[in-house]
Amino acid sequence: MSSMGKLNKHQARMAYLFVTPTMLLFIAFTIIPVVMALYLSFTNYDVVSRMEFVKFDNYKKMLDDDLYWTTFKNVFFYAVIFVPLNIIISLLLAMLLNFKRFGIKLFRTMNYLPTLTSSVAAATVWIWLLHPEFGLVNNLLGYVGITGPAWLAQTETAMLSIIMVTLWQSVGSNMVIYIAGLQGVPDYLYESAKLDGATAFNRFRYITWPQLRPTTFLVSTMAIIGALQMFDQAFVLTQGGPGNVTKTPVYLIYNQGFNQLKMGYASAQAFVLAVAILIFSFINMRINKSEEPIV
Amino acid sequence: MKKWITIMALVTVVATAGCANTSTSSNGNSNTNANTGTNEQTDNASGNAGGGKAVELTFWGDWAGDGQKQFQTMVDAFNKSQDKIHVKYVLQQDLITKFLTAATSGGAPDVLLWDRWRTPLYAPKNVLHPIDDYMNQDGLNKDDFYGEALKELTNSDKLYGLPLTVDARALFYNKKLLSDAGVTQPPTTWDELEQAAVKTTKWNGSKLEVAGFSLGDNGLFNMYLQQAGGQMLTDDGKTNFNNEKGLAVLNFWDRMLNEEKVYKVGFEQGLGEGTDAFATGKVAMTYNGPWMLSTYKKYGKDLDFGVVPPPAGPNGDKGGVMGGFGLVIPEASKHQAEAWEFIKWWTANKDNALLWAKTSLNIPGYKPALEDPFFQDDPLYKPFLDTLEFAKVRPSHPGYSVMETEALIPNLELFQQKKQKAEDTLKKAQERGDQQLADNVDVK
């Protein structure tokens, strides 16, 4: 027993040694900034000349800030469409590309490629593709007799365009995660189901989908977080316009902090956003936990 | 996941900026020490003038590409003109953020390129050094500069820099498109502008081929409002466009955009310089600044264009908005006297201002330089000089730009797309705008 204890102690010591560098970085670049931001959210810090403690003023102000809540509405609308589509499309792609065939890797790579491009560069290209008169999208629509809208400039389509562009860019990496998940599903489950005469749909419904639950949890959580933190595409594609329909909380925070120098207020907004993300991640966790995988 | 990194980076920036600031409170004294020390250093510099080393100045700006070359030309010319001061241009892409960090944690530049409208937001924070004493000492005449440009560099009766460029929007028109449509004279009033726009617009089914007049920039509301005889703000710092003058502007826009359809929302969005809608003949008339002259001139014969001052409104009111850059001296600079010498050499000397104008094709803020035939005999510059005579700078309220971008423009966008009525647009913009102005009035 005592030798076990010694070993454990030794292992524990080594473990601490190994996690120390990471933890130091984590503390320096995550914990301390978060604590600083929390403190700043109670001040009127402006980067340059003032940092006075203003108690809950920033949070009180937020309650009356219509624009802030509008941005939340915008990202919820975005998330409600983006998250399910993201899961469906990347799962379908993954199932489509999960066979061992000649050349399948080429197709996987092609589907993954959009993920590799920088989001700002990709968004810039999409601005051209979506141009109402000279853009490829509307030209293609023109061949079938449809006059396409001014995608990014019209209130009806601006957010849909952003959803489209972000989907295009994010399904690739989720597809890879799903392929990994699919390959972890044991073959004997399918074999025995087949012997029992289960249809393809039933095999998906009762084997694949439940087995992929942890994967879906990961993908959906990342998608929800990503949706609530949407910034680059909205910044490049529409600058939050038209009429604020694509303005997101992070965009607003960026503007408040760096353009208007209201770093204190921006920190408060960032904190409320962080809490919102936490809440939605928990809700997502509950939903996903309700059905545990079989194996 | 990338977004996580962005957020973390943001938070980190906040934190490091925070750390920087806390150290300032202790640095504050050393800053003032540095300032008093400047005089000694200046004395040393002039004492050393005979054989000593030149004082090194750092000049920060965010002009890259051609702009960087133009700056370099001026810097080289200055360095050659004397041997006491040596200036180095440093390109800073994220100029303001970098400057703020440097202003509080050391490493600030000695001369800073300054987008003038920012003055009311930053001057009260004591990050810029007033130049009134230098002006008096060197006997410079303020009347030699555009008064409006100086006004934009002034805060609480202190002058913070000298104008490097002045600009205002004027109406560019495509001569060929206008004459093809039977318009012989470029428009001088709103009515003429509207008629010319209707005549030059070409639709091919549901596709807009040539837009008669660009209505793509809602930020020009300020200019239209002046033409309608209005003002953006009242004297006591409230919005002043929710009235019949603001309504006149919106009705004018609505008529052209939604009834006569001389433009389409989003028509120019995302078109870069290479595919500029005016340069490629997709837009017959558009408001733009003198900075586009060099670009459009490149097209030579393919783009036969003219420029006229902005057409006057229904009651003959003229309106233009002046903007442009200045050069300022950061409070944290260690060589303020030398920095002033450089600024004076560049912006308050006829020959050098002219050299700058010819190098960059910008209009300098120093009026004596504009008497040169380079400007007076050029039919493309004349309309801009005429516009600058009556152009006004943006109101010097620290909350003005926030009000414009957050309260006014989003509502104007909704109006243009018929999502809300003109009256509601102005009312909402006023409510939100007044709130923004009140929130931002206190800068310090």
Q: What is the pLDDT of residues B220-249, one digit of tens each?
A: 999 999 999 999 999 998 999 999 999 999
- Cα dist from B435 to A66, B189, B410, whole Å: 11, 34, 15
Check if B7 contacts A (Cβ < 8 Å): yes
Residue B270 lies in a domain: yes
Closest by CA to B192, choosing from B150, B227, B221, is B227
How sure is the predictor about B431, in pLDDT bands with cuts at 50, 70 and 90?
Answer: very high
**A142 chain-B contacts, CB cut-off 8 A:** 207
Average pLDDT of the residues in B401-429: 93
Q: Give the other-Cβ count within 10 Å of A142's Cβ.
A: 15
Average pLDDT of the residues in B188-215: 93
Q: Give the other-Cβ count within 10 Å of B305's Cβ.
A: 23
Report pLDDT for B54.
Answer: 87
Report pLDDT for A292.
Answer: 56
- The alpha-helical segments, DSSP class H, found in B212-332 are 221-227, 244-254, 293-297
Report pLDDT for B260.
Answer: 94
Both A82 and A173 in one domain: the answer is yes
Q: Please check whether residue B327 is in contact with residue B112, taking contact to mean a CB–CB distance below 8 angstroms.
A: yes
Q: Please check whether residue B74 is in contact with residue B346, taking contact to mean a CB–CB distance below 8 angstroms.
A: yes
**B266 chain-A contacts, CB cut-off 8 A:** 131-132, 150-154
Regarding predicted confidence, which is higher, B444 or B99? B99
Place of tokens 């006297």: B337
Residue A51 lies in a domain: no
Residue A47 lies in a domain: no
Average pLDDT of the residues in B356-364: 91
Both A253 and A184 in one domain: the answer is yes
Both A27 and A172 in one domain: the answer is no
- Partners of B211 in the beta sheet? B283
Check if B380 contacts A (Cβ < 8 Å): no
Residue A294 lies in a domain: no
pLDDT tops 50 at residue B389:
yes
Report pLDDT for A3.
Answer: 61
Report pLDDT for B271.
Answer: 63
Q: Give me the residue from A51, A243, A257 closest to B410, CB to CB.
A: A243
Q: Give me the residue from B14, B265, B271 closest to A154, CB to CB.
A: B265
| Structural domain for B45, as ranges | 35-167+324-393
Among candidate residues B377, B393, B409, the one where a domain is terminated? B393
pLDDT tops 70 at residue B410:
yes
Report pLDDT for B24.
Answer: 34
Smallest CA–CA distance from A45 into chain B, residue = B18
Both B182 and B57 in one domain: the answer is no
Q: Please check whether residue B266 is in contact with residue B249, taking contact to mean a CB–CB distance below 8 angstroms.
A: no
Tell me how far apart the alpha carbons of residues A169 and A235 are, in angstroms, rounded to a whole number.
Answer: 16
- Partners of B170 in the beta sheet? B288
Q: What is the pLDDT of residues A237-261, one digit of tens each?
A: 988 878 899 999 999 999 888 888 8
**B101 chain-A contacts, CB cut-off 8 A:** 47
Report pLDDT for B93.
Answer: 85
- Cα dist from B168 to A33, B311, B313, B347, whole Å: 43, 13, 17, 19
pLDDT tops 70 at residue B258:
yes
Report pLDDT for B295.
Answer: 83
Task: Read off the CATH number of the domain in which B282 is found.
Answer: 3.40.190.10
How sure is the predictor about B10, in pLDDT bands with cuts at 50, 70 and 90?
Answer: very low
Both A84 and A130 in one domain: the answer is yes
Report pLDDT for A133.
Answer: 80
Closest by CA to B260, choosing from B220, B224, B204, B211, is B211
Q: What is the pLDDT of residues A221-238, one digit of tens each?
A: 999 999 999 999 899 898
| Structural domain for A143, as ranges | 56-289
Q: Which of residues 111 through 150 in chain B touch A, CB cutoff 8 A?
A: 121-122, 125-127
Both B228 and B331 in one domain: the answer is no
Report pLDDT for B46.
Answer: 41
Both A34 and A83 in one domain: the answer is no
Check if B4 contacts A (Cβ < 8 Å): yes
Place of tokens 């524990």: A12
Task: Read off the CATH number of the domain in which A166 is found.
Answer: 1.10.3720.10
Both A19 and A66 in one domain: the answer is no
**B14 chain-A contacts, CB cut-off 8 A:** 33, 36-37, 40, 257, 263, 266-267
pLDDT tops 80 at residue B424:
yes
Q: How far is A247 from chain B (nearest CA, A)?
A: 10
Both B328 and B369 in one domain: the answer is yes
Cβ within 8 Å, pair A258-B97: yes
Both A213 and A270 in one domain: the answer is yes
Q: Give the other-Cβ count within 10 Å of A9's Cβ.
A: 10
Residue A171 lies in a domain: yes
Average pLDDT of the residues in B329-349: 94
pLDDT tops 90 at residue B298:
no
Q: Is B400 buried (19+), middle (13-18) or exposed (0-12) by CB count in 10 A?
A: buried
How many structural domains does chain B have?
2
Tell me how far apart the alpha carbons of residues A157 and A139 are, in angstroms, rounded to a whole number.
Answer: 17
Q: How far is B232 from chain A (nearest CA, A)?
A: 20
Q: Please check whether residue A46 is in contact with residue B125, taking contact to mean a CB–CB distance below 8 angstroms.
A: yes
Both B76 and B201 in one domain: the answer is no
Q: What is the pLDDT of residues B118-137, one digit of tens each?
A: 999 888 888 899 999 999 99
Closest by CA to B192, choosing from B282, B313, B289, is B313
Residue A163 lies in a domain: yes
Cβ within 8 Å, pair B419-A155: yes
Q: In whole angstroms, what separates CA A294 from the centre of its chain? A: 28
Both B61 and B77 in one domain: the answer is yes
Both B417 and B275 in one domain: the answer is yes
How many degrees, rounded to 5, is the angle at CA B117 between CA B115 and CA B119?
A: 90
Tell me how far apart the alpha carbons of residues B28 and A46 are, in angstroms, rounded to a whole number.
Answer: 16
Mention every residue, 6+ apart, whose C-beta is less than 8 A from residue B82.
none
The dihedral formed by the CA atoms of B152, B156, B160 and B165, expressed in degrees to the nearest 10: 10
Q: Which residues of B418-429 are buried (b: 16+ CB within 10 A; e: fewer)?
A: ebbebeebbebb
Average pLDDT of the residues in B396-400: 90
**A30 chain-B contacts, CB cut-off 8 A:** 8, 11
Where would I find the beta strands (DSSP E) of A175-273? none
Q: Please check whether residue B339 is in contact with residue B130, taking contact to mean a CB–CB distance below 8 angstroms.
A: no
Residue A251 lies in a domain: yes
The SS3 of residue B322 is strand
Both B85 and B216 in one domain: the answer is no
Residue B287 lies in a domain: yes
Residue A116 lies in a domain: yes
Average pLDDT of the residues in B92-111: 86
Both B150 and B222 in one domain: the answer is no
Q: Is A197 buried (19+), middle (13-18) or exposed (0-12) by CB count in 10 A?
A: exposed
Reported ipTM: the value is 0.82
Smallest CA–CA distance from B208 into chain A, residue = A133
How many helices (H) and strands (E) in chain A? 15, 0
Both B195 and B278 in one domain: the answer is yes
How sure is the predictor about B16, in pLDDT bands with cuts at 50, 70 and 90?
Answer: very low
Mention every residue, 6+ apart, whose C-beta is less than 8 A from residue A85.
A163, A167
Q: Residue B14 corresponds to which tokens in the numbers above?
A: 């906040």
Of all residues in chain B, the percent with pLDDT exceeding 70 is: 87
**B424 chain-A contacts, CB cut-off 8 A:** none
Both B272 and B404 in one domain: the answer is yes
Closest by CA to B126, choosing from B223, B35, B208, B193, is B35
Q: Residue A289 corresponds to which tokens in the numbers above?
A: 């936990």
Both A148 and A215 in one domain: the answer is yes
Cβ within 8 Å, pair B207-A29: no
Residues listed for chain A: 295
Check if B281 contacts A (Cβ < 8 Å): no
Check if B441 contacts A (Cβ < 8 Å): no
C-beta pairs of A254-260 under 8 Å, 24+ apart in sequence: A254/B10, A257/B10, A257/B14, A258/B97, A260/B402, A260/B440
**B419 chain-A contacts, CB cut-off 8 A:** 155, 243
Report pLDDT for B8.
Answer: 47
Residue B26 lies in a domain: no
Both A147 and A257 in one domain: the answer is yes
Q: Give me the residue from A128, A147, A267 closest to B206, CB to CB.
A: A147
pLDDT tops 90 at residue B19:
no
Both A61 and A96 in one domain: the answer is yes
Place of tokens 């994220």: B94
Q: Give me the residue from B1, B17, B122 closest to A222, CB to CB.
A: B1
Average pLDDT, chain B: 86
Check if B271 contacts A (Cβ < 8 Å): yes
pLDDT tops 80 at residue B358:
yes
Tell me how far apart the alpha carbons of residues B77 and B71 are, in angstroms, rounded to a whole number.
Answer: 10
Of all residues in chain B, the percent with pLDDT exceeding 90 is: 65
Report pLDDT for A69.
Answer: 93
Check if B267 contacts A (Cβ < 8 Å): yes
How sure is the predictor about B433, in pLDDT bands with cuts at 50, 70 and 90?
Answer: very high
Q: How many CA atoms lie within 13 A of A193 on its CB side?
A: 16
Q: Give the other-Cβ count within 10 Å of B393's Cβ.
A: 22
Both B220 and B305 in one domain: the answer is yes
Could you list the pLDDT tens digit for every one of the 295 residues in chain A?
556 678 888 999 999 999 999 999 999 999 999 999 999 999 988 877 778 899 899 999 999 888 899 999 999 999 999 999 999 999 999 999 998 888 899 999 999 999 999 988 998 899 889 988 888 998 899 899 888 888 998 999 999 999 999 999 999 999 999 999 999 999 999 999 999 999 999 999 999 999 998 899 999 999 999 999 999 989 989 888 788 999 999 999 998 888 888 899 999 999 999 999 999 999 988 887 755 554 4
Q: Please check whether residue A124 is in contact with residue A130, taking contact to mean a CB–CB distance below 8 angstroms.
A: no
Write the DSSP string, B287-311: EE-GGGHHHHHTTGGG--EEEEPPP
Helix axes A263-289, B2-48, angle to 10 degrees: 160
Q: Give me the residue from B6, B12, B126 closest to A49, CB to CB.
A: B126
**B414 chain-A contacts, CB cut-off 8 A:** 155, 242-243
Check if B275 contacts A (Cβ < 8 Å): yes
**B100 chain-A contacts, CB cut-off 8 A:** 47-48, 261
Where would I find the beta strands (DSSP E) of B154-282? 154-155, 158-159, 161-163, 167-168, 170-174, 202-204, 207-213
Check if B372 contacts A (Cβ < 8 Å): no
Q: In whole angstroms, what separates CA B366 from the centre of its chain? A: 16
- Partners of B286 in the beta sheet? B172
Both B242 and B117 in one domain: the answer is no
Q: pTM of the prediction? A: 0.82
Both A33 and A110 in one domain: the answer is no
pLDDT tops 80 at residue B4:
no
Mention every residue, 6+ apart, whose C-beta is less than 8 A from residue A203.
A190, A193, A194
Residue A120 lies in a domain: yes
Q: Please check whether residue B294 is in contact with residue B371, taking contact to mean a CB–CB distance below 8 angstroms.
A: no
Counting one residue from chain A and one from chain B, the pairs whose CB atoms sit within 8 A come to: 133
How many structural domains does chain A have?
2
User: Of B413, B414, B443, which to mutate for an interface test with A (greatest number of A Cβ within 10 Å)?
Assistant: B413
Q: What is the pLDDT of residues B170-186, one digit of tens each?
A: 999 999 999 999 999 99
Q: Residue A169 corresponds to which tokens in the numbers above?
A: 């860019």
Please name the helix (run of DSSP H) or strand (run of DSSP E) that holds residue A254, with its range, or none: helix A249-254
Both A274 and A140 in one domain: the answer is yes
How sure is the predictor about B23, in pLDDT bands with cuts at 50, 70 and 90?
Answer: very low
